[in-house]
Amino acid sequence: MLAGDYGPATKRAMEILVALGKIYAAEGLVPVASVQVAGVSYGNLGQAGLEFIQEWAEQGARVRVPTTLNPAGMDLEAWEQLGVPEEYAQCQLKIIDAYRVMGIVPSCSCTPYLVGNRPDLGQHIAWSESSAVSYANSVLGARTNREGGPSALAAAITGRTAKYGLHLEKNRQARHLVQVNCALESVADFGALGYIVGREVEDAIPYFRIDSPGKPGPEELKALGAAMAASGAVALYHIEGITPEANAHTVLADDAVPVIVEGLDEGYEALDGTAQEIDLVWIGCPHASLRELAQVAALLGGRPTRAKLWITTARAVLGEARIRGLVETIERSGGQVVADACLIGAPVQEMGLSTVATNSAKAAFYLHGHHHLEVRFGPLHRCVEAAVKGRWPG
């Protein structure tokens, strides 16, 4: 591949992997079972990014392993209805086309593990999108580093990645022991916890002991990982009794630094602002599961909404939700289930949004930090109340 026997596109991909392998002193290359490619929204890529992907596709780049795509900056079908400018939309569609030419499934979701790209325990993969990386490593026990867009694409084209970092058993040990002594009652609570711990441990691996009744489900775990990957750069965490590798004898370092969390105020104070009027309520960061869509539908209870209510999800989940009548229930209240999209890469200012409420710590972190919007952050039931009243409740 490096010699160019497989064509210029594959040569270019292998050059990227070899360069990375040298930087990180990799043992060699390892075949990957799947790839998740980030770098999709036109808002993040811009014209230069669009041309880079088109050129690679025209050179003959084709993927060798199952490869899925991160969210775009808009719903690929209902963008007009959401107020996305025509010029942005056309460029976004060209990006998706170029990826499609390469053989990538245009799943446009940051929860590929909910829609068919679900690696097994111990499998090597090359994923980008920090929240998905965290879920794959921690909850599924697969092995991936936090790939960037180009390195993930290079792995997809060659079917391999450089073997270093989290691909190696010895690097999956936790060096922080996080003792959580407060109740965790919602997805937002797990997000607030993730925000606190991510800031504390930065890019290290935390090992959690959680003293709270009830077991976190997939929704809580994706919120926790997404928040730690946003406020820090955590790519792997262990939770005793929950995640597959969490065995204190094997993955907890003897000299682990203790971190004690007595409450979540620090997280809520950092992420929740003071705005009263709400333009938009955004649920689905990371993309909503079917269960979350059902919860929103139930909380709405048929009441009309005053603020916009968008729930972002994978198109396949939207399809399933439609079959179960959830989309219709949400739409009857005035909400919208938005496929393919992430608001962080969307042209939010041009869409006339200035205050957003969300139950996602990651969304709150970036909407404020990246888009400079006023953000309210709280549990799902408060967000749905905000959608109904057009004001943050309480």
The stretch among 92-100, 144-152, 167-175, 285-293 that binds ligand F3S (CB under 6 A) is 285-293
Can residue 289 be called a binding residue for ligand F3S (CB under 6 A)? no
Buried b (16+ CB within 10 A) or exposed e, 71-95: bbbbbbeebeebebeeebbebbeeb
- What residues numbered 295-324 form the site for ligand F3S, per CB under 6 A? 312
- Neighbouring C-beta atoms of residue 165, cutoff 10 Å: 17
Say which residues have a Cβ less than 8 Å from residue 116's Cβ, sequence separation at least 6: 68, 107, 316
The stretch among 93-101, 189-197, 360-368, 374-382 that binds ligand F3S (CB under 6 A) is 360-368
The stretch among 178-186, 248-256, 279-287, 347-355 that binds ligand F3S (CB under 6 A) is 279-287
Instruction: Say if strands 160-162 and 29-31 run parallel, antiparallel, or are unpaired.
Output: antiparallel
CB of 61 to ligand F3S, least distance (A): 23
Q: Which is nearer to ligand F3S, 73 or 159 (CB)?
A: 73
Can residue 143 be called a binding residue for ligand F3S (CB under 6 A)? no
Can residue 66 be called a binding residue for ligand F3S (CB under 6 A)? no
Identify whether the C-beta of residue 153 lies closer than 8 Å to the C-beta of residue 183: no
Output the six-digit token pair for 159: 């079917």
Instruction: Say if strands 280-288 and 355-358 run parallel, antiparallel, or are unpaired.
Output: parallel
Can residue 69 be called a binding residue for ligand F3S (CB under 6 A)? no
Q: Which is nearer to ligand F3S, 72 or 326 (CB)?
A: 72
Can residue 344 be called a binding residue for ligand F3S (CB under 6 A)? yes
From candidates 110, 188, 311, 348, binder to ligand F3S by CB under 6 A: 110
Can residue 112 be called a binding residue for ligand F3S (CB under 6 A)? no
Q: How far is CA 339 from CA 82, 155, 279, 388, in A?
A: 11, 26, 20, 22
Say which residues have a Cβ less than 8 Å from residue 290's Cβ, sequence separation at least 6: 317, 320, 321, 324, 326
Applying CB under 6 A, the residues found at the interface with ligand F3S are: 70-71, 110, 129, 131, 226, 285-287, 312, 342, 344, 362-363, 366
